[in-house]
Amino acid sequence: MKVRVGVNGYGTIGKRVAWAISLQPDMELVGVVKTKPNWETLSAVKRGLRIYTLKENIREFHARGIEVHGTLEDLLNSVDVIVDATPGDVGATYKKIYESFARKAVFQGGEEPDVAEVSFNALVNYGEALGKNYVRVVSCNTTGLLRVIYAVSKLSKIRSVRGFIVRRAADLKEIKKGPVEGVVLDPPKPPSHHALDVNTVLKDLDIVTYAVVVPTTLAHIHTLHFVLERSVTSDEVLDALSNTPRILLVDGGLIKSTAELRELARDLGRPQGDIFENVVWSDSVLVRGDEVMLTYAVHQEAIVVPENIDAIRAVMRLKEKAEDSIKITDESLGIKRWLQ
C-alpha cells in the first residue's frame, strides 16, 4: 500500500515537493493546503490537485469558484505524513495540530532546528531519521554544503571547511524582496548561519562560512576550501564528486554562469528549469596537497525536493537504507541523467 502524503503550503517548495510525491511508486499525494485562492492555487487546480484550506478561508475560495475538498484537519485525517512547506517559522505554529492528529511531519529549513528531532540530509544522516515523528530538511544552501562535504569526506577525514556563499536575492516570484542593486554582506560579521546549520547535522565539523546576497534569482554559488587529513589528487576529488548521488560536474569551458546553466536545464526539458543537483565546475577543483578548493551552483528552488522525498521514506520506514531511497527518488526525478 502506498503511503498517503499531504502538503501544507503550496509555494516554491511545496509545489515542487507535491509534484515529486506524485511520481513516487510508494507514495500517494492526497492533497495540498492553500491559505489563499491566489495564482498558485490556480496552478494547483489546473494540475488536478485536491485543494484543502483553513476553515475560516473556505468562503473566500468558493467566492473565486475554487472547489475545496476540506480543511487542514480533513487532510490530516486522510494522510500518514504531512510535508510542511509553509513560510519560515510558520511551520512551527502548526506542529501542535500535527501532534494532535498523531501525524508525522517533514519541516523545511526556514524552521528552527528544535522544531524536529533531526535535521536531515539524505546522504549524511538518513538513518537518524528512520521512524522519527518530526524531521527538518535543512535549507537549500545547507543541503548544497552537506552533499559536497559528504563527497569529500569519502576521501579523507576533513580538518576544516571554509566557505564563501553568494546568495540569490529572491526567488523569481518574490516581487517584494531585494536587493535589486548592490551586494549585501549577510551578515557583516561571520559566520553566516549556513555553517551553524551544517553543524545541526555534522555536529563536530570545523566549518565557517561567509555570505553575501546579490541581485539574481537564478541560483546560489558556493566556493569551499577544505583542509584534509591527507594529501589527495584532483582526479580523486573529481571521482569522489562524480560518484556521489546528486552531484553533477560541468565543464567551465562550456558553461561559466548560473544563467547558462538554468537556460540549459530549460532547453533539456527539466520541469520549470529545475536543477536538483549540486553543479560543480570540474575546472574549479584546485588541489594543493591536503587543501582542496572548488565551486558549485545550487538551484535554491529545487535542491531540497529530493531530500523531502527521502525524508518521507525515512520517517515512514519505507526504506531502511539511504541508498535504496535515493535510488528510487533520483530515478523518478531524472536526477543526473539529463546532463550525463
- Residues with active-site annotation: 140
In angstroms, give the least distance from the CB of 20 to ligand NAD.
Answer: 13
Identity of the residue, 12 or 156, whose beta carbon is nearer to ligand NAD in the bound complex: 12
Identity of the residue, 287 or 297, whose beta carbon is nearer to ligand NAD in the bound complex: 297
Q: What residue ranges bind ligand NAD (CB under 6 A)?
A: 8-14, 33-36, 40, 85-88, 90, 108-111, 139-140, 171, 300-301, 304
Identity of the residue, 186 or 237, whose beta carbon is nearer to ligand NAD in the bound complex: 186
User: In this structure, which amino acid lies at residue 69?
Assistant: H
In angstroms, give the least distance from the CB of 214 to ligand NAD.
Answer: 15
Peptide bond into 271 cis (omega under 30): no
Tell me which residue has its CB nearest to ligand NAD.
11
Question: Going edge to edge, which strands form the sheet with 134-137?
Answer: 70-71, 51-53, 27-33, 3-8, 81-84, 104-107, 134-137, 118-120
Q: Is the distance from CB of 219 to CB of 299 less than 8 angstroms?
A: yes
Going through 50-192 in order, the beta strands assigned E by DSSP cover: 51-53, 70-71, 81-84, 104-107, 118-120, 134-137, 158-168, 184-185
Of 337, 328, 331, 323, whose CA–CA distance to 150 is shortest?
323
In angstroms, give the least distance from the CB of 67 to ligand NAD.
Answer: 18
Identity of the residue, 167 or 319, whose beta carbon is nearer to ligand NAD in the bound complex: 167
Say if strands 220-228 and 184-185 run parallel, antiparallel, or are unpaired. Answer: unpaired
In angstroms, give the least distance from the CB of 60 to ligand NAD.
Answer: 12
The Cα 228–Cα 110 span in angstroms is 31
Q: Is the distance from CB of 339 to CB of 268 less than 8 angstroms?
A: yes
Instruction: Return the percent helix, strand and coil in the chain, to nearest 5.
Output: 35, 25, 40
Identity of the residue, 7 or 232, whose beta carbon is nearer to ligand NAD in the bound complex: 7
- From first CA to last CA, the distance across the chain in angstroms is 34
In angstroms, give the least distance from the CB of 203 to ligand NAD.
Answer: 21
Q: Is the distance from CB of 232 to CB of 287 less than 8 angstroms?
A: yes
Identity of the residue, 51 or 237, whose beta carbon is nearer to ligand NAD in the bound complex: 51
Of 235, 319, 224, 337, whose CA–CA distance to 277 is shortest?
337
In angstroms, give the least distance from the CB of 333 to ligand NAD.
Answer: 16
